[in-house]
Amino acid sequence: MLLVILLLFGAKNLPKMARTLGRTLEEFRRAAREVSDEIMQSADDDSPPHQKISATPETLPAAAPPEPAPATQDETDATVDEPAEYRDAP
């Protein structure tokens, strides 16, 4: 594998490529470590340790009654007063 890389890129470019690869990997590791630290810090800040949260019917807020659904075309047609002769017979 090293021989193929050496033939493709040449002996002069190989150290420069290795240096660039090393810097890229170090930058990636640093960014991953910062993200991990931020997640751990925000998890520690959000909730105190060993705090138990319970949800019982007494502690939950009262639910609002559901809003009625808008009338469909069939429902609006059924509420119109039509003469008996125009209605469909069952």
pLDDT digits (tens, 9 = 90+) for 28-87: 999 999 999 999 888 877 655 555 566 666 666 666 777 777 766 655 555 556 666 666
Q: pLDDT band at 3, cuts 50/70/90?
A: confident
Backbone torsions φ then ψ of 2, nearest 5 degrees: -60, -35
What pLDDT is recorded for position 21?
92
